[in-house]
């Protein structure tokens, strides 16, 4: 198959697991002799040229929180319209790629920042089949410029857009559809995955009296529960426990997070390690440097690749009760599910420290299941099947590329006016 992949970011330009998963599946499809081209945005940092990657899209400045906060309400409104609704420039880039590459199917990833609704509308208009990997509630986000769902946009998306979706969890589907955005067409839940060769079984697990080595990786922010981990460390110390450590890997997006460990008197137990490349983190898991991966993320977490990677090497997952990855694993069998609070985490850590929870059977069962069912080699045939099925589906439209671009120019201006009017209403209400 000839597959055109659309992604707002592409490694080495990354924010998190979304972009890394995109590169992994692109590499896997190319290894299986599919002709794959990636269309992504101009990089935010210098990147080496890759023959199969075109960095031609324009990405709005939607991930620079400090810059956005310094901008006026009206400027942010215009950015939101271009980011989520329509960018005529990016529609033109897309139609050019479709003309030159002539794909059998388009494989959509994260479209936030690219005028994602316009790109999907273009594909619908010209009848190009597509498959959309949903590692987050992206359709809902695209219908929600200025952090507010536009009911008319959601209704039209639900009425007109139909294709093939691959969400990573039922939680993602529910979050999209509960907001009033319907996923029409073929929907197949597809989990995230691990890579590599299955190692020998882990021999050494935590035993009472050892130092419990806890790790977490990802964005260092409150929505990931990092403040709760620090609070749990404080509670454990107050209860008389000192034989544990918490290492935190990732960029601190919330400036209040890093001083928190010192402020709560656990700066010697909680260490911010900063950003660590994915392959280096996996190597640490493979060397069994950690016993427990703490993942007290918010309930709307779509899946989470980091705990899966750790658990593949016997590092037991301890996750909040309702996050997306929890759909795939059983509490007390493959993982530990805990109340999302500092006390809930502290209680669970205490049970491990006292030997009331044995990590070894959890670690062994999870590792076996992950290498068997969650390896990309296992999932890639299913992904190929969905792409192939989509490529053979009847066309959804018969419009021309020129028509799609003219419509995008009109829609872009209309979107800007709509969002500017809403921003004006918000300013007036504040005044």
List pLDDT tens digits, range 239-250.
999 999 999 999
Q: What is the pLDDT, as a whole number, of residue 44?
A: 85
Share of the chain above pLDDT 90, in %: 78
How many other C-beta atoms lie within 10 A of the C-beta of residue 254? 16
In the chain, domain spans: 2-193+378-430, 212-374
- Tell me how far the alpha carbon of residue 318 is from its chain's centroid: 19
**Domain spanning 2-193+378-430, CATH architecture:** 3-Layer(aba) Sandwich (3.40)
Q: Which residues, 6+ apart, have CB-to-CB distance to 336 below 8 Å? A: 316, 317, 318, 319, 348, 357, 362
**Domain spanning 212-374, CATH architecture:** 3-Layer(aba) Sandwich (3.40)
Does the pLDDT of residue 355 top 90, yes or no? yes
pLDDT mean across residues, the chain = 92
How many other C-beta atoms lie within 10 A of the C-beta of residue 180? 16
Q: What is the pLDDT, as a whole number, of residue 120?
A: 97
Q: What is the pLDDT, as a whole number, of residue 427?
A: 54
Q: What is the pLDDT, as a whole number, of residue 423?
A: 61
Same fold flag, 2-193+378-430 and 212-374: yes
Q: What is the pLDDT, as a whole number, of residue 357?
A: 98
Across the range 399-418, mean pLDDT stands at: 89
Across the range 193-206, mean pLDDT stands at: 94
Does the pLDDT of residue 428 top 70, yes or no? no
Q: What is the pLDDT, as a whole number, of residue 67?
A: 66
Across the range 304-310, mean pLDDT stands at: 93
Across the range 383-406, mean pLDDT stands at: 92
Pick the range with the lowest mean pLDDT from 45-49, 351-355, 403-407. 45-49
- Name the band, by pLDDT with cuts 50, 70 and 90, for residue 331: very high
Q: Which residues, 6+ apart, have CB-to-CB distance to 305 below 8 Å? A: 17, 20, 21, 192
Note if the bond before 12 is cis, omega within 30 degrees.
yes
- 5-54 confidence digits (pLDDT tens): 999 999 998 887 889 999 999 999 999 999 999 999 999 888 899 999 99
CB of 215 within 8 A of CB of 310?
Answer: yes
- 84-113 confidence digits (pLDDT tens): 899 999 999 999 999 999 999 999 999 999
Q: What is the pLDDT, as a whole number, of residue 251?
A: 86
Across the range 61-87, mean pLDDT stands at: 75
Does the pLDDT of residue 425 top 70, yes or no? no
Does the pLDDT of residue 70 top 60, yes or no? yes
């Amino acid at each position: 198959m000839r597959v055109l992949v659309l992604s707002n970011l592409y490694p080495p330009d990354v924010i998190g697991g979304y972009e890394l998963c995109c590169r992994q599946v692109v590499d896997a499809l190319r290894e299986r002799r599919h002709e794959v081209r990636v269309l992504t945005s101009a990089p935010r940092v210098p990147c080496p040229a890759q023959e199969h990657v075109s960095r031609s899209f324009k990405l709005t400045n939607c991930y620079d929180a400090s810059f956005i906060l310094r901008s006026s309400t009206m400027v942010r409104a215009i950015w939101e319209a271009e980011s989520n609704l329509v960018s005529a420039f990016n529609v033109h880039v897309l139609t050019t790629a479709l003309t030159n590459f002539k794909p059998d199917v388009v494989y959509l990833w994260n479209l936030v920042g690219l005028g994602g609704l316009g790109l999907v509308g273009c594909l619908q208009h010209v009848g190009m089949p597509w498959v959309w990997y949903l590692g987050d509630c992206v359709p809902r986000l695209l219908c929600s410029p200025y952090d507010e769902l536009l009911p008319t946009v959601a209704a039209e998306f639900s009425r007109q857009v139909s294709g093939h979706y691959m969400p990573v969890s039922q939680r993602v589907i529910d979050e999209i559809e509960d907001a009033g955005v319907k996923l029409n067409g073929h929907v197949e839940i597809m989990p995230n995955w691990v890579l590599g060769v299955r190692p020998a079984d882990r021999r050494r697990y935590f035993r009472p009296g050892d130092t419990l080595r806890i790790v977490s990786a990802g964005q260092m922010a409150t929505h990931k529960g990092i403040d709760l981990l620090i609070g749990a460390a404080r509670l454990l110390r107050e209860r008389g426990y000192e034989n544990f450590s918490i290492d935190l890997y990732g960029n601190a997006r919330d400036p209040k997070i890093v001083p928190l460990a010192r402020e709560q008197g656990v700066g010697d137990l909680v260490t911010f390690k900063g950003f660590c490349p994915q392959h280096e983190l996996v190597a640490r898991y493979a060397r069994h440097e950690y016993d427990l991966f703490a993942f007290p993320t918010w309930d709307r977490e779509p899946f989470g690749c980091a705990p899966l990677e750790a658990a593949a090497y016997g590092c037991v997952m301890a996750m909040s009760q309702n996050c997306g990855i929890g759909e795939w694993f059983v509490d007390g069998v493959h993982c530990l599910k805990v109340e999302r609070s500092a006390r809930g985490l502290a209680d669970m850590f205490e049970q491990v420290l006292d030997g009331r929870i044995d990590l070894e059977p959890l670690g062994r069962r999870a590792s076996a299941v992950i290498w068997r069912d969650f390896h990309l080699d296992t999932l890639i045939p299913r992904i190929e099947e969905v792409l192939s099925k989509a490529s053979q589906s009847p066309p959804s439209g018969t419009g021309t590329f020129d028509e799609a671009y003219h419509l995008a120019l009109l829609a872009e201006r209309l979107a800007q006016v709509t969002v500017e009017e809403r921003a004006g209403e918000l300013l007036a209400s504040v005044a």
